[in-house]
Amino acid sequence: MDINLFKPTGVIRKKHLISLQSYSEEEIYEILHAAAAIEKMLAAGEKLNVLKNKYVSLLTKRSFARSRIAFETAVTKLGGIPMISTMHGSELENILKDKLTVKAIAGYGMSAIVVQTAEMGDAEQIEKNVDLPIINGNSRSGPCEALAALYTVWKRLGKLGGLKVSAIGKPENYADSFLYGFAGCGLDITVICKKEDYPTEKLVNYCRQYVDISVTDDVEEGIKNADVIFVSDDHTGIKLLESHLGKAKPQAIVLHALPVAEDGNLDLSVTEKPCFLGLEEAHCLPLIEMAAMSLLISK
């Protein structure tokens, strides 16, 4: 389906946003189109009150993080009230496992809970215990980050279906939303990683239902004719260098969920090139979170 021909309804039938694996192409497009509409309204100076007087809880271990600031910005711009709970060590883990404590937090008038931890299972655990929309705010492989990447691709290249994305890094670290999102929106995929990190047959077969997918440990071969190069935030020993970029298409873009570590999968020299859109992707994150919350919470 062409995202540009999709007619949004402004309605989504999901209650939670945990992973994009359970989201259809149409549901992903609803969020992306909602983000585009919100961006236009903000540019025109319009005030948004979708979450007026609504409390949204963020459970996180990080006292300062880009994704935390994006969340607070998103809730505030929608007229809502962000309630941020920062816990360290095992404190948050203990709370997530305590059904009664989680239900108590939900009963304090919250309209939704955003879970910003490293484990996908944390958001899933809370989903089972409370009757509120739950959003997975994982900054490495969460659905909001993946949707921000898709939104960036759409804005820059004008489409999603029919493009080729080369994904560099360990698939198990980002597959939950990024690979499912790419496949669900019709982007052919080449996974580039060490042989010991190759994706499972189950994951490959899932993606193959929708798009062509291949796997290689050769960076130059993997990014050949790529429209999009996605570099995951991990340390696998496979690195995208500036010298590799000539193998991709001339208009190819590079995506990365910031920050970029010196010993990570992306050479810092690439961040100085016009094709690097990591900053633009980061700026799209609050728009995606605003779109998701407006669809999940305001109904």
Q: What is the pLDDT of residues 104-113, one digit of tens each?
A: 988 999 999 9
Residue 157 pLDDT > 80: yes
What's the pLDDT at 97? 80
What's the pLDDT at 122? 85
- The domain defined by 20-139+284-296 folds into Rossmann fold (3.40.50)
User: Contact, 290 vs 297, CB < 8 A?
Assistant: no
Given 3.40.50.1370, 3.80.10.10, 3.30.70.380, 2.40.50.140, which CATH number is that of 143-282?
3.40.50.1370
Residue 1 pLDDT > 70: yes
What is the pLDDT averaged over residues 249-254? 98
What's the pLDDT at 35? 98
Its sign, for the CA torsion 45, 50, 52, 54, is negative
Higher per-residue confidence, 295 vs 233 = 295
12 Cβ neighbours under 8 A, 6+ residues apart: 27, 30, 31, 295, 296
Q: pLDDT exceeding 90 applies to what percent of the chain?
A: 77
Question: What is the C-alpha separation between 182 and 96, in angstroms, rounded?
Answer: 30
What is the pLDDT averaged over residues 197-202? 96
CA 81 vs CA 158, 163, 284, 296: distances in Å: 34, 39, 21, 16
Question: What is the C-alpha separation between 23 and 96, in angstroms, rounded?
Answer: 24
Q: Where are the domains of the chain?
A: 20-139+284-296, 143-282
User: How many alpha carbons lie under 13 Å from residue 105 in its C-beta half-sphere?
Assistant: 23
CA 258 vs CA 55, 84, 132: distances in Å: 27, 21, 29
Residue positions counted in the chain = 299
Instruction: Kindly report the number of other CB atoms within 10 A of residue 195's CB atom.
Output: 8
Q: What is the average pLDDT value for the chain, to the nearest integer? A: 93
Domains 20-139+284-296 and 143-282 share a fold: yes
Confidence band, pLDDT 50/70/90 cuts, at residue 89:
low
User: Contact, 148 vs 281, CB < 8 A?
Assistant: yes
Residue 26 pLDDT > 60: yes
What's the pLDDT at 64? 60
The pTM assigned to this predicted structure is 0.95
What's the pLDDT at 217? 97
Residue 207 pLDDT > 90: yes
25 Cβ neighbours under 8 A, 6+ residues apart: 1, 184, 185, 186
Confidence band, pLDDT 50/70/90 cuts, at residue 136:
very high
What is the pLDDT averaged over residues 50-66? 85
Residue 299 pLDDT > 60: no
What's the pLDDT at 99? 87
What's the pLDDT at 68? 86
What's the pLDDT at 155? 98
What's the pLDDT at 63? 61
- Which of 28-37, 101-110, 137-146 is the most confident on average? 28-37
Residue 67 pLDDT > 90: no
User: Contact, 23 vs 296, CB < 8 A?
Assistant: no
Its sign, for the CA torsion 141, 144, 148, 154, is positive
Residue 264 pLDDT > 80: yes
Confidence band, pLDDT 50/70/90 cuts, at residue 220:
very high
User: Contact, 202 vs 212, CB < 8 A?
Assistant: no
What's the pLDDT at 139? 80
Question: What is the C-alpha separation between 149 and 165, in angstroms, rounded?
Answer: 11
Confidence band, pLDDT 50/70/90 cuts, at residue 283:
very high
Side by side, the strands of the sheet bearing 213-216 are 213-216, 188-192, 164-168, 228-231, 253-256
